[in-house]
Structure 1
Amino acid sequence: MNEELIGKVKLNYSYYKGTDLYSDGIIEDKMLEIAKTHENCEDVLAEDSRWPILYHFSTIRQNILEWFPFKKDAEVLEIGAGCGAVTGALLKNDLVVTCIELSKKRSMINAFRHKNYEKLEIIVGNFIDIEITKKYDYITLIGVLEYAKLYIENNDNPSIHFLKTIKEYLKEDGKLFIAIENKFGLKYWSGAKEDHTGILFDGIEGYTTNNNSAETFSKNELKSMMDEAGFHGIEFYYPYPDYKFPLHIYSDKRLPQIGDMVLDRYNYDQDKLSLFDEKSVYDNLIKSQMYDMFSNSFLIVAEKKTITKT
């Protein structure tokens, strides 16, 4: 069976190889049960705030894209859709959504969460194996680019190869969205473990301990990668405290002001040291016009081609 309908959502298994390559473990069975039995999955957080459930079911996740003025009925390709934490924001914006996701179980969770939306198709499989025959108005990589080297083999620079490949699936006036941690984010200096490896100062030191892990980048590295991949009109946004749970999204047109960085605790997945007062350092960075280099995360919006703006 290559297809399955869950409500109005089509699950496409044509490229699924029978094994989920990415999982949070047995808790995903609980998450699937929640998605099947709850109209609003976030309701469970009052009783169960374990990290995977908080991460996948909190509607705060949608803030990363919900604000953007998308064109109505435009087509979007969401690569690495996971359990659908951001999918809902796209559907609520009247977009026609195609998701690509490695995990069948996560795809089923996504489908049950959004079973009443007929504008959703979920393709289960590895992006590099899937035959994409159309071009999209928007493509999203939310927490995905950092894993490029784990899934793209035999390439000297898998991240740039990945970006160049994605660019071919955008319409001429299409836009790419990337959300990713900043390897020089202030939280890493102040005592947070690297999000993917769980090692203190790992990204700051250049990932010298594990070359087979996910890898994040600085603002300058990301800008250089986007330039080399041929993207234009590159705009950086700064989700605070990060792109996973963005309560505010700043931009180069409206950077944070002194006193805006007020959160004491926002690192919910791992224990965090406290080597200095982050709020005071943030204020000093803002005063010195250096906040953008130390933002914990980035949201990048880039255009396929140069577009004259009026």
Structure 2
Amino acid sequence: MNSSEFIKDLNLVEILSDNFVVERCYTGKYADLSDEKEAEMISLMSKKHWREVIAESFQEKSPWLYRIIADAGRPMFLDMLDIPKNGLYLDVGSGWGQVCIPLGRLGNSVALDLTFNRLNILRSIANQEKVSLQYAQGNFLSFPFIEKSFDTIIFNGSLEWIGVGREKGTSIRKVQIDALKKANDLLKPDGMIYIGIENSMGLKYILGTEDDHTGLQYHTFLEERIAENNFQSQGRGEQLPSKTWSLEEYKEMISESGLELEKVYGCFPDYKLIRQMIDLRFINEELINGTPVTEHVGISGEDINRPLELNAMYKVLAKNKIAQYFCPSYAFILRKRGHSNGTI
């Protein structure tokens, strides 16, 4: 496979190699490490196995980041998806490769990320794993992908960040809907979109657990304009970097984008390190029958301190048939309008 099979206009990208292209003009940047640290890791991975480098770099100094990178639960959701073999897949915000590398074992996987060094780290990991990937540096909203070319598009922890670098005065919600519309355009007629994302009305946030993205309490469920004011007033920056929503708000956004919702799962402790994916159609019944769930603080990975009380609250919510609205995270499976099997 080469880049011409998924890039619409080669004049808008710079081809660095057979499998690495860079968008000539793009905006936005997201990284959980400094450029210097990423460059250091690239150098180390030329001499050692990537898992050894990750362990040496983060296991003690940043144990939560280490878990996110190394935990086998990160790509668990792929087992729940009907992904066609030998297809073309796009991982938006590919990060450390926990999703695009397993996809690369099924077919042709394109890793899209804003950060050049992060893609180089991913390339080192994929080479050691003997998985062939295509690498694309750029912004999903502007990258010149060919329409109707992808079988599967993944937004696992990336849709909430899609508004980073947006124009002043533009809402995150609008940018997220624009991203979903573009994903709709890029899908083949029978293609599928997966979104893993937090629930702004998650029970733990209502009880005071900090937002995963800003570290602020009682913040996730605020209306976007108020959330931005709250973010600015606490000296966190000039522009709110991310926004999550409630179940019904996600449904509205999906409908506005022209997509159909096929299925929703509640993810516990969250979508980052999934241990349970419960079909929302059955979640009240499962919780009433005593299925235990666990949750953790999204910015640190620490367990929520009162599991008995938390499960008791979920059981009461389930008896009132509303537990589906309070999961910590959701996994959404979307199709083009008219192509869903309508299981939700």
Against the structure 1 CA distance between its residues 234 and 309, is the aligned structure 2 distance closer, same or farther, given a 3 Å change threshold? closer
Q: Secondary structure at the match of 1:90?
A: helix
Report matched runs for 1:1-310 at 5 Å. Answer: 2-4=15-17, 10-15=19-24, 21-26=29-34, 27-29=37-39, 31-32=41-42, 35-36=45-46, 37-38=48-49, 40=51, 44=55, 47-48=59-60, 50-92=63-105, 94-115=106-127, 116-118=130-132, 120-134=133-147, 135-153=149-167, 155=170, 157-206=174-223, 207=227, 208-210=229-231, 212-255=240-283, 256-258=286-288, 259-263=290-294, 265=296, 267=298, 269=300, 277-307=309-339, 309=341
Could you tell me the TM-score, scaled by structure 1's length?
0.85
Q: CA deviation at 1:285?
A: 1.6
Q: CA deviation at 1:41?
A: 5.9
Against the structure 1 CA distance between its residues 205 and 108, is the aligned structure 2 distance closer, same or farther, given a 3 Å change threshold? same
Q: CA deviation at 1:44?
A: 2.7
Against the structure 1 CA distance between its residues 221 and 35, is the aligned structure 2 distance closer, same or farther, given a 3 Å change threshold? farther
Q: CA deviation at 1:291?
A: 1.5
Q: What residue identity is the alignment partner of 1:21?
A: K
Report if aligned partners of 1:11, 1:121 keep a CA contact under 8 Å in 2: yes
Q: CA deviation at 1:222?
A: 0.4
Q: What residue identity is the alignment partner of 2:21?
A: N
Contiguous gaps of at least 5 residues in structure 1: none
Distance 2:65 2:109 in 1: 24
Report if aligned partners of 1:152, 1:162 keep a CA contact under 8 Å in 2: no
Distance 1:254 1:197 in 2: 32
Q: Secondary structure at the match of 1:2?
A: strand
Identity %, equivalent residues: 23
Against the structure 1 CA distance between its residues 136 and 282, is the aligned structure 2 distance closer, same or farther, given a 3 Å change threshold? same
Q: What residue identity is the alignment partner of 1:288?
A: N
Could you tell me the TM-score, scaled by structure 2's length?
0.78
Distance 2:208 2:194 in 1: 29
Q: Secondary structure at the match of 2:245?
A: coil
Distance 1:16 1:28 in 2: 22
CA offsets 1:118-141 (integer angstroms, 9 cap, x no match): 2x1010122233211252111111
Q: CA deviation at 1:279?
A: 1.8
Q: CA deviation at 1:265?
A: 4.8
Q: What residue identity is the alignment partner of 1:188?
A: Y
- Partner of 2:234 in structure 1? none
Report if aligned partners of 2:269, 2:276 keep a CA contact under 8 Å in 1: yes
Q: CA deviation at 1:253?
A: 4.0
CA offsets 1:256-309 (integer angstroms, 9 cap, x no match): 334323437564616787589212111212222211100100111111131375
Q: Structure 1 residue runs of 4+, over 6 Å off?
A: 270-273
Report if aligned partners of 1:190, 1:273 keep a CA contact under 8 Å in 2: no
Q: CA deviation at 1:33?
A: 5.4
Against the structure 1 CA distance between its residues 35 and 261, is the aligned structure 2 distance closer, same or farther, given a 3 Å change threshold? farther
Aligned length: 303
Against the structure 1 CA distance between its residues 264 and 150, is the aligned structure 2 distance closer, same or farther, given a 3 Å change threshold? closer
Distance 1:28 1:137 in 2: 31
Against the structure 1 CA distance between its residues 189 and 130, is the aligned structure 2 distance closer, same or farther, given a 3 Å change threshold? same
